[in-house]
Each structure stands twice: as structure tokens, then as C-alpha cells.
A and B are shown apart, each in its own frame.
Chain A
Amino acid sequence: GAVVSQHPSWVICKSGTSVKIECRSLDFQATTMFWYRQFPKQSLMLMATSNEGSKATYEQGVEKDKFLINHASLTLSTLTVTSAHPEDSSFYICSARGTGFTDTQYFGPGTRLTVL
């Protein structure tokens, strides 16, 4: 149990375009979802926290207008990177937390974004 999926697993886009990444909790309801970013040889950095039906809370230094997060249901959150630039190229990872035995954060497999 406690499986989190992400789609796509990798994406290449041109500079200036927008990219949407989906995060799904497959076998539990996620009351809270988190989005992280990881650059090569670095640790994961938390970008934002979202609760179902509420606006996301962004960490300091993360542009909310650039990284749009939607958590419309208890099993789906999306991250949209708007007007992507090469410096946005990174490994984006989501995690989900439910209640009960799933109140631990479980992580998705990650999405590799490359902006040309």
C-alpha cells in the first residue's frame, strides 16, 4: 500500500512553454501533498505544501506564479511550471500524506524536466 505515482516520468520542452506534472496517490487519500525539487548532487528542496481544496503554501524563495499547484482532489495534485526556462531543469518529486497508517509522507518516483 501507500503508492504514489507521477506523470510524466520525464519531459523535454522548449524555453517559454508550460509543463504540467501530475502526482497521484493510488491506494490512499492524500490530505496533504508536497512538491520538492532536486538539482544534481544536491538534496531535495521543499517547494510547496498543498492541502486538498486549499491554496498551496510556498516555501520562501519559490515563485508561486511560476510554479502553479493545484490539489483538486484527495488523490491528485498537479504542478505546472509556467514559461519554463533552462534554469528550471530539475528533478521534481511529489509526496503525499494521508491519515492513519498513511500519515507518513510517501514519495513519487520523480519527474525529470529538461528545458531547452
Chain B
Amino acid sequence: DAKTTQPPSMDCAEGRAANLPCNHSTISGNEYVYWYRQIHSQGPQYIIHGLKNNETNEMASLIITEDRKSSTLILPHATLRDTAVYYCIVCSSYDKVIFGPGTSLSVIP
């Protein structure tokens, strides 16, 4: 079973920041928080991952709370191409990725 809870859907205005929350209250010490997204009829795309520090790359930022029980993925300037299902996943680096239902993000013009 997925170890995370995400809202089923969210809307975001084009050009604004999209903040996608994720709860993972049972995360253990060696588990990372991974984010993937899946655009319709494509394979999932890796976005970012982190252990306990905040992370940023060219796609997004990941903010992890100090107790590590929740995190937020931030797309700083959402575009229409960011419309996708976003999956927050908790697992160790040697474990298999188990997908939950994710958050369907719609970026609106």
C-alpha cells in the first residue's frame, strides 16, 4: 500500500506557483520522499527527491517539514505542459516504488 496521502485534484493558474502537498506521517529514517509525474499516456517522469533537507532542481523545489511527516512540491511557474498526475512516494533507495492515486493537477490558462 502507498504510504502517502495526497489531495485527488488541484487547479493552478498558468504562470503561478503550484504547491502540491503530501502527507507521509509513517515515514521511517531511511526512506526518501520521491516525486514523479505522469502526463497522459506516458511513462512517469522523475521530478525530485529528498531525505530531510529541502531540494531544488531545474524542474521543482521540494520542501520537507522538520519532522519529515509531510512535504510540498513546488512548481514555481506552472505552464499548461505541467498538467499531469503527480505522485508523492516514500521509499528507501533500494526499495520498489509503489504508486498511490496521486494528485491530478490542472493548469488553467
Q: Could you list which residues of chain A lie within 8 angstroms of chain B, going by C-beta atoms?
A: 2, 4, 6, 34, 36, 43-46, 49, 91, 93, 95, 103-110, 112
Count of residues in B whose CB is under 8 Å from the partner chain = 20
Return B85 CB to nearest CB of chain A, in Å.
8
Bound: A103/B43 CA distance, A: 18
Q: Which residues of B contact A34 (CB under 8 A)?
A: 96-97
Task: Decide: A103 and B93 in contact? CB cutoff 8 A.
Answer: yes
Return A11 CB to nearest CB of chain B, in Å.
15
Return A112 CB to nearest CB of chain B, in Å.
8
Task: Decide: A109 and B43 in contact? CB cutoff 8 A.
Answer: yes
Name 22 A/B residue pairs within 8 A (Cβ), A-sorted: A2-B46, A6-B43, A34-B97, A43-B87, A43-B100, A43-B101, A44-B38, A45-B99, A91-B41, A93-B44, A95-B44, A95-B97, A103-B94, A104-B34, A104-B93, A105-B96, A106-B46, A107-B44, A109-B43, A110-B41, A110-B43, A112-B41
Q: Is B25 an interface residue (CB 8 A)?
A: no
The binding surface of chain A is classed by DSSP as strand
Q: Which residues of B contact A108 (CB under 8 A)?
A: 43
Q: Could you list which residues of chain B lie within 8 angstroms of chain A, going by C-beta atoms?
A: 34, 36, 38, 41-46, 49, 87, 93-94, 96-102
Bound: A6/B44 CA distance, A: 13
Task: Decide: B93 and A110 in contact? CB cutoff 8 A.
Answer: no
Q: Which residues of B contact A91 (CB under 8 A)?
A: 41
Task: Decide: A49 and B99 in contact? CB cutoff 8 A.
Answer: no
Name the CB-closest residue of B to A94. Answer: B43
Q: Which residues of B contact A36 (CB under 8 A)?
A: 99
Name the CB-closest residue of A to B98. Answer: A46
Bound: A44/B38 CA distance, A: 10
Q: Which residues of A contact B102 (CB under 8 A)?
A: 43
